């Protein structure tokens, strides 16, 4: 009897298993098509949320442009909620602008890039314009990090969900179906919208946004084996003339002309067609992401009855990609063979070498450093798994064919007055890794800057610079050891200032953060006054030779309105010889130091704290190298220093110590109001007498407004000091140079 019951139980169990298997086999393979549409592709996330709620398991995904990005992330293991969180945390302004942190630039690049309002390629005496607004490095770094878990998968059929995406071969106009490769690179190629993002070079083809040729890859999913197609269409319908009011909408309209006709056939191939009502949004409406996601949910709920019959809410488990270690154990680093740059140059920009374990943030920083040079028109990379279960980093670089650039800038301040800057920059002038930069500054005071620099990465780099500075100004500084103004009974004196400085130097990056270097300097200095024509009008007319050394660190996020970061600068300069116009030269040294700190206190409120000091050592310092404080908004040279409350070049001595703070409030984007205070002790032999620690003898305050314009900062400040009877209004416009 027991054997009989056991036999029937076995038959029942077998029948149940077979039945379940039959049910499983009968479940049709579901394919999901996600069209392109820029920011309107946020609707795909809303669709995915409802599909998960209905228990619909997706077997294949095909996407184009934004659909490729959302689809690629879903195919790699993220669920809809996770993708929603990723997009909420993404700064799309930075993505579209290909934001490059200031910290990614070398000290040379910071100095050069923070002077010019306009930069244009200049080739064979012809001006050019950039290929696109963005090279897409910001986006590439982000997608590479997000797809870390599948970085070694090269066949997209082996992803958690089989995946394809579509790009367009810009040379032939043909569509390209991407089924394999580095997932982040494929998503980038599919979403390289013309004029916004540079084309992507992949397998010898130059690819742009797939929406140009196939914005809805439904046929490809059928070929993969999909039996039921759920299609999400976020494309624009054709607009009338009144709606085509900007370049982006016109480009989208051109792209959509052919697609609209193709969609009639594609809809017939789609079993469940979802068309969210997003006509009020554009391809760059990234600030409306949550609204668009909601529209995607609403459109999917409208066809929920059709969807749920393909779902299994009881047994469906939403995929959930767990955070795993994103450390990368670098075994080897290879780069494209370059004509004008050495591997040492590239490694120096990366700031890590083979055999190191790094984070994705370190990788991102290294790639940003390469991008910051502007020496490469295309940058991409892949991580290949090697036999040691480590990663080989392969970097693909295309050298920028434009080696010559014309750059322009404008500036006004109360010292140098109005100025127009014209710059010629040329790469690969004499050696690999080199750059030449020449500035001609025209206006009330003629000036020039010439820089030649060879960047050898991890190895010692070297350069030469030459600078001419001239200005005419009434100043309260006594250039005659404190005697002349007193003897003549004058409060100020008009001077003509001329400084020609030439430097040769060597420098390198120390422990991947600090710039350390040194060199020799030749300086010609002439100071005269027309106020004293009947007497000897020339105060100085000498040549000086010196040696110098320096250590610098700069992580500020913005030179003019910093919100975060540190700056440290320390240097020593020893003057060894002079032609000695005044017959009073003694060898002496000048030591300078500065620390600057910026910290965000609230969303729009920032605190800046700055401390500086300087002193002379050795023999008696030449008065013309004293520290001279006063004024604001001009490009500092020699030992001229800003100081609120006093007019330009008002306080002078061979030693000083100064502290200041600024509270800055960003009233609305790029518009700032701020309050500043500074305090200083300035006197000869300040640190020898111990007076540097006494109550400050000089203090000043400033209330100002600043605007971050394309020409640089536009600032107006009212400054005053309790020690003086009057205040000063100071205006500066444009980048400082």
Residues with catalytic roles? 65, 209
Distance from C-alpha of 219 to C-alpha of 63, rounded to nearest angstrom:
12
- What is the separation of C-alpha 284 from the centre of its chain, rounded to a whole number of angstroms? 20
Q: For residue 31, which of 128, 161, 212 has the smallest C-alpha distance?
A: 161
Contacts of residue 487, Cβ cutoff 8 Å, sequence gap at least 6: none
Q: Do residues 38 and 66 touch, judged by C-beta distance below 8 A? A: yes
Short-list 494, 560, 558, CA closest to 531:
494
Q: Where are the alpha helices (DSSP H) in 341-432?
A: 343-350, 360-372
Which runs of consecutive H residues, i.e. helices, occur in 373-520?
484-488
Q: Residue 32: which H helix or E strand, with range?
A: strand 30-34
Residue position matching structure tokens 């923070």: 114
In this structure, what token pair is assigned to residue 336? 């494209």
Residues paired with 448 in a beta bridge: 440, 468
388 secondary structure, DSSP code: T
In contact, 63 and 156? CB cutoff 8 Å: no
Question: If you count DSSP H runs as helices and E runs as strands, how many of each does the chain have, helices first?
Answer: 16, 33
Inter-residue contact 715 to 705 (CB < 8 Å): yes
| Rounded-to-integer distance, Cα 703 and Cα 729, Å | 10
CA 393 distance to own-chain centroid: 22
Instruction: Point out which residues pair with 661 in neighbouring strands.
Output: 609, 677
Instruction: Produce one character per residue of 715-734: b if its CB has 16 or more CB atoms within 10 Å, e if not.
Output: bebebbbeeeeebbebebbb
User: Checking phi first, is residue 252 left (phi over 0); if not, alpha (psi -120 to 50) or beta?
Assistant: alpha
For residue 288, the 8-state DSSP code is G
- CA atoms of 274 and 297, how far apart (whole Å): 10
Helix (H) or strand (E) holding 59: none
Nearest-CA neighbor of 256 among 275, 274, 233?
Answer: 233
d(CA 73, CA 166): 15
Closest CA relative to residue 596, chosen from 626, 562, 620, 640: 562
Q: Are 677 and 699 in contact (CB under 8 A)?
A: yes
Query: Are the C-beta atoms of residues 121 and 404 closer than 8 Å to each other?
Result: yes
Terminal-to-terminal C-alpha distance of the chain: 102
Please give the DSSP secondary-structure letter assigned to residue 644: T
Q: Residue 110, SS3? A: helix
CB–CB of 162/155 below 8 Å?
no
The strand pair at 126-127 and 118-123 is best described as: antiparallel
d(CA 189, CA 207): 6
Question: CA 146 to CA 135: how far, in whole Å?
Answer: 19
* Structure tokens given for 452: 């030649």
């Amino acid at each position: 009897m027991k054997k009989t019951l056991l036999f029937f139980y076995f038959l029942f169990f077998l029948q149940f298993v077979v039945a379940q298997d039959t049910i499983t086999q009968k479940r049709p393979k579901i394919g999901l098509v996600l069209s392109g549409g820029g920011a309107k592709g946020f609707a795909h996330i809303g669709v995915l949320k409802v599909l998960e709620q209905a228990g619909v398991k997706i077997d294949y995904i095909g996407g184009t442009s934004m659909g490729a990005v959302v689809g690629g992330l879903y195919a790699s293991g993220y669920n809809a909620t996770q993708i929603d969180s990723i997009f909420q945390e993404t700064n799309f302004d930075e993505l579209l602008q290909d934001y490059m942190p200031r910290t990614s630039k070398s000290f040379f690049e910071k100095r050069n890039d923070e002077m010019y309002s306009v930069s244009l390629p200049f080739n064979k005496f012809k001006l050019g314009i950039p290929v696109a607004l963005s090279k897409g490095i910001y986006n590439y770094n982000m997608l590479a990090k997000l797809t870390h878990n599948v970085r070694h998968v090269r066949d997209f059929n082996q992803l958690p969900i089989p995946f394809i995406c579509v790009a367009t071969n810009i040379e032939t106009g043909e569509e390209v179906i991407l089924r394999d490769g580095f997932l982040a690179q494929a998503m980038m190629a599919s979403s390289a919208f013309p004029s916004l993002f540079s084309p992507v070079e992949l397998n010898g083809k130059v690819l742009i946004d797939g929406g140009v040729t196939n914005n809805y890859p439904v046929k490809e999913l059928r070929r993969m084996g999909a039996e039921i197609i759920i299609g999400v269409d976020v494309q624009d319908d054709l607009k009338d003339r009144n709606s085509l009011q900007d370049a982006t909408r016109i480009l989208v309209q051109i792209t959509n002309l052919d697609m609209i006709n193709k969609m009639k056939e594609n809809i017939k191939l789609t079993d469940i067609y979802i068309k969210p009502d997003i006509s009020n949004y554009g391809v760059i409406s990234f600030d409306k992401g949550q609204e668009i996601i909601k529209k995607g949910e609403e459109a999917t709920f409208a066809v929920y009855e059709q969807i749920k019959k393909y779902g299994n809410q009881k047994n469906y488990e939403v995929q959930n990609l767990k955070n795993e270690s994103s450390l990368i154990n670098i075994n080897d680093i290879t780069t494209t063979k370059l004509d004008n740059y050495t591997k040492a140059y590239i490694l120096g920009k990366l700031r890590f070498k083979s055999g190191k374990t790094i984070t994705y943030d370190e990788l991102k920083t290294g790639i940003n450093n390469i991008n910051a040079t502007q020496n490469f028109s295309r940058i991409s990379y892949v991580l290949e798994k090697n036999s040691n279960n480590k990663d080989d980093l392969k970097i693909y670089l295309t050298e920028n064919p434009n080696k010559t650039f014309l750059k322009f800038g404008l500036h006004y301040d109360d010292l140098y007055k109005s100025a127009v800057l014209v710059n010629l920059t040329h790469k690969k002038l004499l050696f690999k890794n080199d750059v030449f930069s020449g500035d001609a500054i025209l206006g009330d005071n003629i000036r020039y800057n010439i820089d030649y620099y060879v960047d050898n990465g991890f190895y010692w780099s070297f350069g030469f610079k030459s600078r001419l500075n001239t200005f005419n100004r009434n100043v309260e500084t006594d250039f005659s050891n404190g005697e002349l103004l007193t003897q003549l009974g004058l409060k100020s004196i008009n001077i003509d200032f001329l400084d020609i400085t030439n430097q040769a130097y060597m420098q390198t990056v120390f422990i991947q953060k600090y710039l350390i270097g040194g060199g020799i300097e030749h300086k010609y200095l002439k100071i005269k006054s027309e106020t004293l024509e009947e007497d000897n009008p020339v105060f100085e007319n000498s040549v000086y030779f010196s040696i110098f050394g320096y250590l610098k660190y700069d992580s500020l996020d913005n030179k003019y309105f910093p919100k975060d970061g540190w700056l440290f600068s320390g240097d020593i300069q020893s003057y060894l010889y002079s032609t000695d116009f005044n017959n009073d030269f003694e060898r002496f040294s000048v030591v300078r130091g500065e620390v600057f700190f910026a910290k965000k206190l609230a969303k729009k409120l920032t605190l800046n704290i700055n401390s500086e000091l300087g002193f002379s050592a050795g023999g008696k310092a030449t008065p013309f190298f004293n520290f001279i404080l006063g004024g604001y908004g001009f490009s500092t040279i020699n030992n001229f220093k800003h100081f609120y409350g006093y007019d330009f070049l008002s306080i002078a001595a061979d030693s000083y110590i100064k502290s200041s703070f600024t509270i800055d409030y960003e009233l609305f984007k790029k518009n700032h109001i701020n309050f500043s205070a500074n305090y200083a002790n300035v006197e000869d032999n300040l640190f020898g007498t111990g007076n540097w620690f006494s109550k400050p003898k000089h203090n000043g305050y400033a209330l100002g407004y600043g605007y971050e314009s394309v020409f640089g900062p536009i600032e107006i400040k009212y400054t005053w000091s309790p020690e003086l009877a009057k205040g000063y209004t100071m205006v500066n416009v444009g980048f400082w140079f």
